[in-house]
Amino acid sequence: MTIAPRQRQPPVPDRGTAVVAREGAHAGNAGITARKSAPPAAASLDRGIGAPTSTSDEAAVTPTLGERIRQRRAQFRREERRLVRERLSVAIAIALSWFAWSLPESGRRRLTDWAAAVYYRRARSYRENAHANLRQVLGPHASDAEVDATARRAFKVSALNFLDLILTPRRPDAAFVDSVRVVEGSWASLDAVLAHGKGAVMVSAHLGAFDHIGQAMHARGYRMTTVTGRTTSRFVFDGVQFLRRSRGADIVEATPSGVRRALKSLRRGDLCAIVTDRDFFENGRPVIFFGRPTTLPPGAVRIARDTGAPLVPAFARRDEHGYGFAIHPPIWVEKTSDIDADIDRGMAAVVAQLERAISRSPDQWVLFQPVWPAG
C-alpha cells in the first residue's frame, strides 16, 4: 500500500531527542556529560567558609586592562581561525558536490571503487578496527579471508554513502522519496506510533545508507532531529554537517545544547534519531554485544523511559534494488521505581535489535572505530 507523504511543516529551530523533566540532568544520560561551572565563590569556599580574601589574592586573580585586551585578541584570533576553517570545509564540500553531480553514473561508480580501494589500503587504523569488529560479528570460525572480504565490502559501502552525501544538495525531494523501499514494517506503522502524540526515539546503527534514509524521511515530510557524534577531524565534520543540513534536515551535534534541541522535538510529537551501536563518549552502560562485554550508550533508552516516547528500531541496507529500510515494532520502556532495572531491560531489547540487523548485513556495518575494548 502506498502512503502519501506527510504534509511537510516548516522547520522549527533547535529541536531534538525526547522529553524529560530535567533536561540538564538527563543530558548526561544521552551520552553527554553536562558540567556546570563552579560559582565565583568556589575559590573562597575551598579555603574555608567565611575565609577572608586578601588584597593580594584579588590582585593575583584580577587581570589588568592590558591582559584583558591580549586575552580578547587571542580569543578573536581563535574564533577567526575557526570561522576560516569552517568556511573552507564548506567550500570544499560544495565543490565536491558539483564535481560529482557533473559526472555520469558510470564515472561515479568507478570513482567510488577507486576511493574505497585506496582508503582500505591507506587507512590502517580504520582497517584494523573494521577487522576486529567484524571478526566479533562473524564469529570465531570465520577465516581471515572472510573477514578481509567483508571489511572490503564495508569500505565500498562507506564510499557509496559518501557519494550519496555529497550529491545530497543536488537531488530533488522526489529522488529521495522514490529511491527508498520499506522492506520490513511500513510507513503506516510509523505514523501509527507518532499518532500517540509522544513522538518516538528512532534507534539505529551505522548500517547501510543511513544518511540517505534520513534525507528520504525529511523529503517525505517527517519532522526529525538527528543527533550525531563527531568521529572525524573537525575540518571534515564541518563539511559533512553542511551536506547533511543542505536540504533543511535538523542535524544536531551530541552536545548538551544539541540534546536539548532533541528533547524539544519529542515535546512536539516528532521523531528524533540516535545511532546506538558504539559508545563514542565512553560513558555508556555495560552490555553483552555479540557475546562479548562492552558498553553502549543508554541515552535513547533513558529518554524513552522518562518521556513515555517509544523506541523505534529502524535500519537501512543496500540491496540490488537500491535502498531498503526496515521499520520494526516500537519498544515501550517500562518506568518503575527501579531505574537501573528499567534501563537494563530497555538496553537488552535494543541490543537484540542491533545484533539482528548487523548480522543480516555485516558487510554494510560501516563502523570503523573499535566497538569492544582491546584484549
CATH number of the domain enclosing 266: 3.40.1130
Which pLDDT value is given to residue 72? 67
Tell me which of 148, 164, 180 is where a domain ends.
164
Q: Are residues 153 and 175 in the same domain?
A: no
Residue 183 burial (CB < 10 Å; 0-12/13-18/19+)? middle
Which pLDDT value is given to residue 73? 64
**Within a domain: 73:** no
Which pLDDT value is given to residue 14? 43
Q: Are residues 155 and 176 in the same domain?
A: no
CA 280 from centre of chain: 10
This model's pTM is above 0.85: no
**Within a domain: 299:** yes
Q: Are residues 174 and 274 in the same domain?
A: yes
**Within a domain: 55:** no
Tell me which of 164, 179, 201 is where a domain ends.
164
Q: Are residues 355 and 273 in the same domain?
A: yes
Tell me which of 164, 187, 202 is where a domain ends.
164
In the chain, the number of structural domains is 2
**Within a domain: 341:** yes
**Within a domain: 65:** no
**Within a domain: 359:** yes
Domain, as residue range, for 332:
23-32+165-364
**Within a domain: 370:** no
Q: Are residues 202 and 345 in the same domain?
A: yes
**Within a domain: 154:** yes
Whose CA is closest to 352, among 280, 283, 288?
288
**Angle ∠(346,350,352) on CA atoms, nearest 5:** 120
Alpha helix segments (H runs only) across 103-143: 105-122, 124-138
User: Cβ distance 256 to 187 under 8 Å?
Assistant: no
CA 131, CA 189: separation in Å to the nearest integer? Answer: 36
Which pLDDT value is given to residue 328? 97
> What is the DSSP secondary structure assignment for residue 31, as one 8-state letter?
T
Q: Are residues 155 and 214 in the same domain?
A: no
CA 344, CA 358: separation in Å to the nearest integer? Answer: 21
Q: What is the mean pLDDT of each run of 10 residues along the chain (375 residues)?
A: 45 40 38 37 33 43 71 62 88 96 96 96 96 97 97 98 97 96 96 96 97 96 92 88 95 89 94 95 94 96 94 95 95 96 97 98 96 87
| Residue showing cell 574564533 | 79
CA 58, CA 279: separation in Å to the nearest integer? Answer: 43
Which pLDDT value is given to residue 50? 37
Q: Are residues 228 and 138 in the same domain?
A: no
Which pLDDT value is given to residue 161? 97
Which pLDDT value is given to residue 219? 97
Q: Are residues 224 and 190 in the same domain?
A: yes
Q: Are residues 123 and 182 in the same domain?
A: no
- Residues 6 or more apart from 211 whose CB is under 8 A from it? 161, 164, 165, 168, 244
Q: Are residues 278 and 133 in the same domain?
A: no
